[in-house]
Amino acid sequence: MVDQNLEPNQPKADSSLSDQLPSDLKVAVSAGGGSKMAPTPVVAESAAGEQGGSPGFATKWIIIAVSIFVILLLAGTAYFLFSKAGIGTNRGTLDLSLEPAGADIVIDGKFKRQAVSSLSIKLKPGEHTLLATKEGYLDWEQEFTLSANESKEINLKLNTIPNIEVLIEGNIAFPELIRNGRSIAYMSAEGSFSVINLDTNEQASLFGNHVIAQARFINWASGEPMALAKLDGMPKLSNLRDNRSVRGRFVPLGERPVQGAPRNTGTSSWFLNDTNQTAAGWQPVLLNESIGSFDFSPDSSRIIYFYHTADGEQSLVVAHPDGGEWERLATQVPLVDPELVWLNSERYILLLDDKNDGTDQIFDMVSKNFSEAMPDRLANTTVASSPDGTRILYVSEENGYRLAVWNLLSSSREKLFEEAIDSQTQFVWQTDDKFILNKDDGSLWYWNLNGKEKPMQFVSAAGPLEPIKLFYSIINHQLLVVEQTRILSLKA
């Protein structure tokens, strides 16, 4: 901008240097013509600078580019370090507690900590493996899945290395835990009955030391020594009590139902109670020759049996163990001659169809209704009721032989395990969520419904394990391995 009061190229003699400068380089002068203000440095852009070709302009853009690069590098480094440390909003959190304290843990083969009692760690979403070890305890390896932003709790209880001892040697039959897991009862090859106290290993004879060689099947009560026995023919046991004509409960009121016409099945059913004594000695009770499969209730106060008479009746009947006060629960049973299992819940009866091509059934003691169950079960294989009676563990024949869990509350299959097994694999529940099974190589596996624990093979002076039946005493924390000629105790 040019001052209109001055003529171009004609500066006044007394004009200052500032007045003689081009208009775009003028500086302010103090009012009143006094002393001039100090000049302010001004940098003028040249024509070349306007085109971006000056060294100063290039330096400015280099600084900006380097700054952006450094910022990105720092951000990337921070993200990497936070990721390695498990910091991030898309991580899941594992809260781990161990019993006993002081175990060493390894997660995914990388993260390691020693002497751990509890731990909280953030992990990437996906599959993970946890290994816990402690001297004197079995190694424990478990797989688990963690989702983004999920908090998962794992309460891990290590099992001590068990002491293995031989409880019984010789040919035995029909072993079963009784006295709520504190004893095991069995029949010898000669037909005598005995019980072993698992706390003291003391052995005692049962049923007046009688020998009953005709036993085809024995079903033990879970309480005191009592058994339901299926005997060949109709043996004349001494001092017997015949309950074949006993009448049923008043159902309906005022009417005592009578038993149906007896059907000759070639066997007879008996109730054996170690404390059932008369002046003449121990007394067995004859129930009926028309009884098929039978079982005790979980508390041993009642029995359930399939009743198939000569006149065609096929009913489910509940009674006192000695056959008294019996009651028909259902007279239309959808299976012919099923095997009965009173599950560890008073409410449910399992009917297994191992002789025909039908589907297994569940009978609800409350609603008095039948429902189908375990349609994929392999016939003539082991089934096991969970301690709380809400699940059944069985062998599925879907995609080969694999373990499966049937949930009674949802009336559906809850889980199908991926691990292939043999059809004769034995298994037993340890808790409501955990069970133990054996493998062909003699190893015992611990499994959990919420994950999978790796196998641990027991090696001892007793030799390789070859179980035909497994029992677990929850009270004694004791696993019993029944083999062909011995019973082994594995107690932590």
Show the domains of the chain with their CATH numbers: 92-157 (2.60.40.10)
As a whole number, mean pLDDT of residues 103-123 equals 92
The reported pLDDT for the residue numbered 483 is: 92
As a whole number, mean pLDDT of residues 349-377 equals 95
The reported pLDDT for the residue numbered 359 is: 94
The reported pLDDT for the residue numbered 217 is: 95
Question: Average pLDDT of the chain?
Answer: 84
As a whole number, mean pLDDT of residues 3-29 equals 43
The reported pLDDT for the residue numbered 8 is: 41
Q: Using one digit for the tens of pLDDT, what is the confidence trace for 120-178?
A: 999 999 999 999 999 888 888 888 889 998 999 988 888 777 778 889 999 999 999 99
Q: How confident is the model at residue 60 (pLDDT cuts 50, 70, 90)?
A: confident
pTM above 0.75, yes or no: no
Q: How confident is the model at residue 480 (pLDDT cuts 50, 70, 90)?
A: very high
Which has the higher per-residue pLDDT, 82 or 257? 257
299: pLDDT strictly greater than 50:
yes
As a whole number, mean pLDDT of residues 301-312 equals 95
Q: How confident is the model at residue 215 (pLDDT cuts 50, 70, 90)?
A: very high
Q: Using one digit for the tens of pLDDT, what is the confidence trace for 233-273?
A: 999 899 999 999 898 887 766 677 888 888 988 999 999 99
376: pLDDT strictly greater than 80:
yes
Q: How confident is the model at residue 55 (pLDDT cuts 50, 70, 90)?
A: low
The reported pLDDT for the residue numbered 248 is: 87
As a whole number, mean pLDDT of residues 94-122 equals 92
33: pLDDT strictly greater than 80:
no
Separation between Cα atoms, residue 392 and residue 381, nearest integer Å:
13
315: pLDDT strictly greater than 50:
yes
